[in-house]
Homo-oligomer: A and B are copies of this chain.
Amino acid sequence: MITETVELAGHILDSLTLPKVLDMVISREADYRIVEMEVGRTNLDPSRVLLELTTGDSETMNKLIAELHIQGANLVGDADAEVVACETAGVLPAGFYATTNLPTRVRIGGTWIEVSYPEMDCALVVDETGARAVPMHAVRPGDPVVVGQRGVTVEPPRRARDRSAFEFMNSDASSEKPKGLIVARVADRVRAAHRATPPGKVLAVCGPAVIHTGAGPDLARLVAAGWIDVLFAGNGFATHDIESNMLGTSLGVSMAGEASGEEGHSNHLVAINEVRRHGSIAAAVKRGALTGGVMFECCTHHVPFVLGGSVRDDGPLPDVITDVVAAADAMRSHLPGVGVALMLASTLHAIATGNLLAASVETFCIDINQAVVTKLADRGSHQALGIVTDVGLFLRELADNLCRD
C-alpha cells in the first residue's frame, strides 16, 4: 500500500474543486482520509484541506496524483523537482510532467520559480532563464525536463470575482438564456479588460460563419474602433471576408440579398487568386485592391493576425501559415497579455486556441450549436463561458454596444 498527502487550498468548495478531487480518488478505487480541513467561515475566506491518499501500487498513485494536480492539488513535501535532460529532439523523457494551464511554480535548488506562461499538455523545461512550458515538438536535446509531480505546485482554479456578472447563467451552456443581458455583460468584460492595469488584450478567434451570417461589417467596426487587439482565424474566414468585400458575396451568396443560386461559386477562388497576385493581404490593401472588411481593418489599424492553415483550404491565401506546428507557434507568440478571448463561431481554431490559453483568461465561446459550445467551454480555460446564440445577431449587438462609446 502506498500513501501520499496532497494539499488543496483556496476557494475549493464554491469552485467545486474539493468534490471533484474526492470523486477522482474514488473512481481510481483509492482511499482518502481528510487529515485536516479548515473551511472558510464566510465566502471571503479561503479553505484548506490536507488529504491522505492510499492506493495499492505506486503506478496508480502516480496517475492519481497527476490527475488531482490538474485540479490544483499539490503534493505535500519540500523536495525539489526532479529534472532529466532530453535526449532526442522532440521526444520527452519517460515520466515527464505534463503541464496544466493553471499558474504553476516549480522548486529548483530550494527556490520556487514561476512558470512564465502556463500552457497545458506541455513539458516543463527549467534552465537558467527560468521555467517554461514547452510543447513536445520544441524540446531540444539537453533541455532539462521535469519528471514526476514532486516539486511542482499549481494554484487551484478559482472563479473570477467579476464573472459573478454571469452567475444568472448557472454555468451550463443552454440557448434559453436572456440574450440581450448576455451581450451587455460580455461588452462590460471587454471594456474591463481594456481598463485594467496593465490593460488586457482582447483576442477574437473567428470562423467563416461570422461572414456568412452577415456580421463581417460588425466585427470590422469593432476592429476599427480598437476593441480587438489580435485576431486568429483560418483561410476560410479571411477568404470569405475578402470575397464579400471584393465581390459582394460570401461563399457565392450575395451579402446584400439581391440574387441567389450558387452564384459566384468560384468567387472565393477569384478573391484568393487576386490576393496571391499581390503577394499578401497587406499588399492588396496597400494597392487599393481590398478596401473594406475585417482583414482590411486589421491591416489598416495594425491589428496582428494569425491565419492557421487547414487541410480543407482552397488556395490558400498567401498569409496563411500552412505548417500547422508553425501556425500554433505563431499563435502562442500573441497570447501573453490576452485578458479576454472571444471564440466566434469557430471550432477548429477555437479549440486550438483553447489548448494554448492560460486558465486565467476569460473566454467566451459563441456558437449556435450547443454541442460545439459545450465542447469548447469544457476545454481550455476554467474561465470559459459558453453562449449558445446566433453569432450574426450577437456581433451586431456587441458592436452597437461597444462602438457607441
A2 contacts B by Cβ under 8 Å: no
Complex contact B276–A91 (CB within 8 A): yes
Please name the residue on chain B nearest to A173 by beta carbon.
Answer: B374
* B-facing residues in A186-241 (Cβ within 8 Å): 208-209, 212-215, 234
Contact mask for chain A residues 366-395; partner B; CB cutoff 8 A; 1 contact, 0 none: 001111001100100000000011101110
Contact mask for chain A residues 128-148; partner B; CB cutoff 8 A; 1 contact, 0 none: 000000011100000000000
With a CB–CB cut-off of 8 A, which chain B residues contact A313?
324-325, 328
Interface size class of A (residues with CB under 8 A): 35 or more
Given A27-B259, A262-B70, A310-B324, A174-B33 contact (CB < 8 Å): no
* B-facing residues in A13-65 (Cβ within 8 Å): 13-16, 18-20, 22-29, 31-34, 37, 39-43, 63
Interface centre among A88, A312, A322 (most CB of B within 10 A): A312
Q: How far is the CB of A326 from the nearest CB of chain B, in Å?
A: 8
Please name the residue on chain B nearest to A351 by beta carbon.
Answer: B312
With a CB–CB cut-off of 8 A, which chain B residues contact A42?
31-33
Complex contact A168–B259 (CB within 8 A): yes
Interface centre among A39, A135, A214, A261 (most CB of B within 10 A): A261
With a CB–CB cut-off of 8 A, which chain B residues contact A269?
92, 96, 98, 121, 136
Residue in B43, B165, B168 whose beta carbon sits within 8 Å of that of A253 in the complex: B168
Kindly state the separation between the CA atoms of A92 and B272 in the bound complex, as whole angstroms.
10
